[in-house]
Structure 1
Amino acid sequence: MIRAWLRRLLPAAQPAPVAAPEPVPAGVSPRDIGLHDAMLDGWFCGDRGELLKGFAITPGDTVLDVGCGEGVATLFAVRQGASVIFTDSEHDKVRDLARQVQAQSEQPNLGLVSNSLPLPLADGCASKVVCMEVLEHIDHPEPFMAELVRMGRPGAQYLLSVPAPVGEHLQQGIAPASYYRSPNHVQIFTPERFAALVEEAGLVIEHRQATGFFWVMGMIFFWASERAAGRDLGGAVRDRIQAPYPPLMESWARTWQDLLAQPDGLAIKRMLDGFMPKSQVIIARKPPAAEVAR
């Protein structure tokens, strides 16, 4: 049914000098396909040192990753030679990430268990600030944003993301009710509200994008599978979804890989990302000290 629905989005068949995609083996990982999908959007450009296109990390940077989770951004920064400060409210995540950072970095690094209000860090401690998929968990996002701005140096660059409203509202019909209660998602940001939150905190927006249709559908299939199995993970978030994956999620990952292999697959992906993204992303910058003083 899903494959038929996606076929209707494809243009009329045209002769194309492209080879048929290789068969995808059973047991394909949704996380691997999701990573490939993210890289098509400009994420994790290791050869250019860009966590996202337009957000480069260099050995001279100190990167603050607030709500680090599994540490994807922190470990990317470590591989670029930067110093990292990473925080999360969950002790196990900070502990496990600290072990990985210590094994891979010779730079000064710091891991903190904190709810971030406030963070025990000096003003202007970071040249790059990352806060992805965190603000939706915060009861009062304005003072949280003020704390992020405090810790960036003048001229510091920020990479911020929150779930997009269309995908959030769609999941409300199938996700457990606890997914939309503290400490899970207690805020839904329209694009206008998200931009206003960033700008009113004193940052200047440099870039915006929507991404992740693949994961909206993947999460819906995850919730459906959990319901069918009689399980309720109490508001599980994406970084807790690990192998073995439900067959429905694996089937969706194969379908998405098949779509991307089509001649117009990338164009269709971008259209779907704009129509129903998982996340909305903002790259912003703290004004230089001279501008702040005016």
Structure 2
Amino acid sequence: MIQRWLARLRPPVEPALSPTDRVSPRDAGLYDAMLDGWFCNETGELLKGFALGAGDTLLDVGCGEGVATLFGVRQGASVIFTDSEHDKVRDLARQVAGHTGAPFLGLVSNSLPLPLADGCANKIVCMEVLEHIHQPEPFMAELVRMGRPGAQYLLSVPAPVGEHLQQGIAPPAYFQSPNHVQIFSAERFAALVEDAGLVIEHRQASGFFWVMGMIFFWASQQAAGRSLEGAVRDRIQAPYPPLMERWASVWQDLLTQPDGLAIKQVLDRFMPKSQVIIARKPDPSARGGA
């Protein structure tokens, strides 16, 4: 499924959906992300301001389904990816091997220190991982250690407003290890990054679509009397609950309206799913040459 998504990525200069299109919640969420500056093939930017190319080594920590890794491979970057789940690393390695003949490395690990050399990458991605970590400060120190001087970082965690709303409907296990054990305010997230020695270049928050989508998912599961233990977003696959399907249809209809993008931006600011930071590791040699 991820390969199909990546094959369809394009910069959303004009509406890519029409009111008659039928899309899944995953596809609607993907298009919503593209409107926020994600997955621009033409510029090679995973997110606007975070470009990948043939000269880069991308380290994707907590790779999950591998969206960032596969995007990097498509841009010609060398890739290293890690996750605590063996199946995810195995499946992603198969996909990467099918896309590139270049060397790559996939590791199953959730321990500190991570079994990688200092300065092994110049592009580091760690998305929706830190909220799972009981001690995020030493984990951030590991991320910084593995970046070269001047390395760029793309980091994301859930926004607090969406997390607090889901605490009222999600199962208790969703906020217990190995799921979410941290809720980061915007101030705490920025401090975590800066205290680790990185310089913040860009911040954004978005994803109202997914906050509502997750709430509708939890409600549908409860109404159907299904067990919710262990359910996280990357495990929500078709067939989707009808309520989620309908929500995707409503959202796609909104985005095709003349003021749809402006409304989306208002809602994203009001109730974002994720907060994102792009940061950079200082390069003392570059400063010395200035």
Return the TM-score normalized by structure 2. Answer: 0.92
Number of matched residues?
Answer: 273
Q: Aligned match of 1:220 in 211, 215, 218?
A: 215
Asked if 2 retains the 8 angstrom alpha-carbon contact of 1:42 and 1:53, the reply is yes
Q: Secondary structure at the match of 1:222?
A: helix
| d(CA) in 2 for partners of 1:286, 1:267 | 34
* Alignment pair present for 1:23 and 2:20: yes
RMSD: 1.6
How far off its partner does 1:96 sit? 0.3
| d(CA) in 1 for partners of 2:48, 2:169 | 33
Moved over 4 A (4+): none
- What does residue 103 of structure 1 align with? 98
- What does residue 112 of structure 2 align with? 117
How far off its partner does 1:198 sit? 0.1
Q: Aligned match of 2:277 in 282, 285, 291?
A: 282
How far off its partner does 1:289 sit? 3.1
Deviations 1:8-57 (A, max 9, x none): xxxxxxxxxx9x953244xx300001000000000000110000000000
- What does residue 187 of structure 1 align with? 182
How far off its partner does 1:118 sit? 1.3
- What does residue 78 of structure 2 align with? 83
| d(CA) in 2 for partners of 1:203, 1:21 | 42
| d(CA) in 1 for partners of 2:18, 2:57 | 42
After superposing the two structures, state which structure 1 stretch, 157-166 or 253-262, moved more: 253-262
- What does residue 268 of structure 2 align with? 273
Q: Secondary structure at the match of 2:258?
A: coil
Paired AA for residue 225 in structure 1: S
How far off its partner does 1:290 sit? 3.0
| d(CA) in 2 for partners of 1:161, 1:116 | 20
| d(CA) in 2 for partners of 1:123, 1:21 | 48
Q: Aligned match of 1:143 in 122, 138, 143?
A: 138
Q: Secondary structure at the match of 2:183?
A: coil
Asked if 2 retains the 8 angstrom alpha-carbon contact of 1:116 and 1:144, the reply is no
How far off its partner does 1:292 sit? 8.7
| d(CA) in 1 for partners of 2:178, 2:287 | 34
Query: Are residues 84 and 21 of structure 1, via their aligned partners in 2, closer, same or farther at CA, if it must alter by over 3 Å?
Result: closer
| d(CA) in 1 for partners of 2:39, 2:111 | 26
| d(CA) in 2 for partners of 1:250, 1:183 | 28
Gaps of 5+ in 1: 1-17
Return the TM-score normalized by structure 1. Answer: 0.90
Paired AA for residue 123 in structure 1: D
Query: Are residues 24 and 103 of structure 1, via their aligned partners in 2, closer, same or farther at CA, if it must alter by over 3 Å?
Result: closer
| d(CA) in 2 for partners of 1:22, 1:122 | 50
| d(CA) in 2 for partners of 1:81, 1:278 | 30
| d(CA) in 1 for partners of 2:98, 2:108 | 20
Q: Secondary structure at the match of 1:85?
A: strand
- What does residue 173 of structure 1 align with? 168
How far off its partner does 1:291 sit? 6.9
Matches within 5 A, 1:125-136: 125-136=120-131
Matches within 5 A, 1:7-46: 21-25=18-22, 28-46=23-41
Asked if 1 retains the 8 angstrom alpha-carbon contact of 2:19 and 2:252, the reply is no
Q: Secondary structure at the match of 1:206?
A: strand
* Alignment pair present for 1:260 and 2:255: yes
Query: Are residues 142 and 77 of structure 1, via their aligned partners in 2, closer, same or farther at CA, if it must alter by over 3 Å?
Result: same
% identical aligned pairs? 81
- What does residue 57 of structure 1 align with? 52
Asked if 2 retains the 8 angstrom alpha-carbon contact of 1:225 and 1:248, the reply is yes
| d(CA) in 2 for partners of 1:262, 1:234 | 38
How far off its partner does 1:117 sit? 1.5
- What does residue 243 of structure 1 align with? 238
Asked if 2 retains the 8 angstrom alpha-carbon contact of 1:84 and 1:109, the reply is yes
